[in-house]
Amino acid sequence: MLLSTILILVLGLATLIVGGEVLVKGASKLALRFNVSSLVVGLTVVAFGTSAPELLVSLNSALKGAPDFALGNVIGSNISNLALVLGTAALFGFIPIKKDSARRDWPVTLGSSVLLYIFAYNGMISNLEGTILVILLVIYLGSLLYTTRKEQIKLDVEEPDKLEKWGIVKDIFQVSLGIVCLYFGADWFIGGAEEIAVDLGVSQRVIGLTVLALGTSLPELFTSVIAARKGETDLALGNLLGSNIFNVLSIIGITSIIKPLSVNMDMLHTDFPWMIGITILILPLMVFRKRLGTPSGIILIGSYLVYVFFLLK
């Protein structure tokens, strides 16, 4: 019984990852065909597309009456991004510290995490608070667009083949397939997680903060490790900080607009402070070192293991 449940969970996760990839490719090419600049596509379509698996998981959880999955997915993912994923990448290769990461992305990451904690403090994240988070996301994206355009930064966006006969049809098919995969993947993933929680007698909070969070962080983990092994780590820290910002402002924001989220008090008093604490821990590593290497990786992974120990205890 447990084995079949785990298979459903893995199938759901694989479908989510494939759906996100296909959606990003189709949507970005479709936008470029309609003369939307690659800069805008990279900062909006690609950014939202890569967050689509987490969004569908959180939204599906909220609508099914499992808010601990919805919040646990985001909080656990943010903790694993900066502790496990960044720490693992630092063990495989040096990660240089970009000025933008320290001056812009880190303060926004910390600020959004603290704001979410303030919103959650009364035990509920309301429609209004979700709207505020989404408005802040729009402001953040606007500042990114201004900065990247001013500094003439080019984003890695796959260009469509203008001569391909069935190009638009193919792009629309990819977008449709991506949406279908995300829908069913999220459903299977959440269903499997719920059954595992029941079978093992573990709380939804723990499953959300570990299984769901690690599952939706796997793409970032694989990408960061591969990039570190190849020495292509320039964007690793900025991407992970950006992912955490998106997780809070877009995923929690959009989910709570559609359905207000009730907050588990254990999560509020334990997991929120861990998320904020690990974000703060990144600052001295950035300030006192020009790059993150093995010592930083050991500190970050050690922090994650300590967190998981207390969570499971």
CATH number at residue 22: 1.20.1420.30
Is 161 a member of any domain? no
User: Rounded to whole angstroms, how far apart are CA atoms 214 and 194?
Assistant: 16
H or E stretch covering 95: strand 95-96
- Tell me the pLDDT tens digit for each residue of 66-94: 889 899 999 999 999 899 988 988 888 77
Q: Are 12 and 192 in contact, with CB atoms under 8 Å apart?
A: yes
Supply the angle between the helices 67-80 and 272-288 in degrees, to the nearest 10: 20
Amino acid in the structure at residue 144: L
Is 162 a member of any domain? no
Is 33 a member of any domain? yes
Q: Which token pair is 211?
A: 């299984």
Q: Domain total for the chain?
A: 1
User: Rounded to whole angstroms, how far apart are CA atoms 7 and 299?
Assistant: 33
Below-70 pLDDT ranges, the chain: 1, 36-44, 46-47, 49-50, 100-101, 148-166, 223, 226-236, 289
Q: Are 8 and 211 in contact, with CB atoms under 8 Å apart?
A: no
**pTM of this prediction?**
0.85
- Tell me the pLDDT tens digit for each residue of 229-260: 666 555 567 778 888 898 999 999 999 999 99
Is 42 a member of any domain? yes
Whole-angstrom CA distances from 165 to 30, 117, 172 are 14, 51, 14
Residue 208 pairs with which residues in a beta bridge? none
Is 286 a member of any domain? yes
Is 160 a member of any domain? no
Q: What is the mean pLDDT of the chain?
A: 83
Is 131 a member of any domain? yes
Is 255 a member of any domain? yes
pLDDT, residue 100, reads 66
Query: What count of Cα atoms within 13 Å lies in the side-chain half-sphere of residue 18?
Result: 13
User: Rounded to whole angstroms, how far apart are CA atoms 56 and 18?
Assistant: 13
For residue 182, give every residue at least 6 positions away whose Cβ sits within 8 Å of its Cβ, in sequence order, or none.
15, 16, 19, 20, 23, 52, 53, 56
- Domain extent, residue 51, equals 1-155+168-312
